[in-house]
Amino acid sequence: MLSLKKKAGLRPIAASFLALAALTLSAGLGIAHAADDALPKIPNKKPLKVGFAQTESNNPWRLAETRSFKEIASKCGWQMVMTDANSSAAKQVADIQSMIAQHVDLLVFPPREEKPLVPVIMQAKKAGIPVILVDRNVDQSMAKAGKDYITFIGSDFIDQGQRAANWLVKATNGKATIIELEGSTGASAANDRKKGFDEVIAKNPGMKIVASQSGDFARDKGRQVMETLLQAHPDATAVYAHNDEMALGAIAAIKAAGKQPGKDIQIVTIDGTKGGLEAIKAGELGASVQSSPFFGPLACDVAQKYAKGETIPPWVKVSDRFYDKSNVDASMQYGY
Ligand code: AHR
pLDDT in tens, 109-145: 999 999 999 999 999 999 999 999 999 999 999 999 9
Most ligand 1 atoms within 8 A of CB, residue of 65, 163, 197, 217 to mutate:
217
Atom of ligand 1 nearest to the CA of 110: 1
Q: Could you tell me the pLDDT band of residue 35, with boundaries at 50, 70 and 90?
A: very low
- What confidence tens digit (pLDDT) does each residue in 251-264 have? 999 999 999 999 99
Interatomic CA distance for residues 185 and 182, integer angstroms: 8
56 in ligand 1 pocket by Cβ < 6 Å?
Answer: no
Identify the residue with better confidence: 271 or 17. Answer: 271
Most ligand 1 atoms within 8 A of CB, residue of 220, 243, 269, 289 to mutate:
243
Most ligand 1 atoms within 8 A of CB, residue of 135, 191, 273 to mutate:
135
Q: How many CB atoms lie within 10 A of CB 74?
A: 11
242 CA from centroid of ligand 1 (Å):
8
154 CA from centroid of ligand 1 (Å):
11
* CB-count exposure of residue 3 (10 Å: 0-12, 13-18, 19+): exposed
Atom of ligand 1 nearest to the CA of 242: 6
Predicted local confidence at residue 8, as pLDDT:
33
pLDDT at 83 over 70: yes
Using a pLDDT cut of 70, give the percent of the chain over it.
89
pLDDT at 6 over 90: no
pLDDT at 2 over 80: no
Sign of the four-CA dihedral 9, 11, 16, 17: negative
pLDDT at 7 over 90: no
59 in ligand 1 pocket by Cβ < 6 Å?
Answer: yes
- What confidence tens digit (pLDDT) does each residue in 163-200 have? 999 999 999 999 999 999 999 999 999 999 999 999 99
152 in ligand 1 pocket by Cβ < 6 Å?
Answer: no
Please name the residue whose Cα sits nearest to atom 3 of ligand 1: 189
Predicted local confidence at residue 37, as pLDDT:
83
271 in ligand 1 pocket by Cβ < 6 Å?
Answer: yes
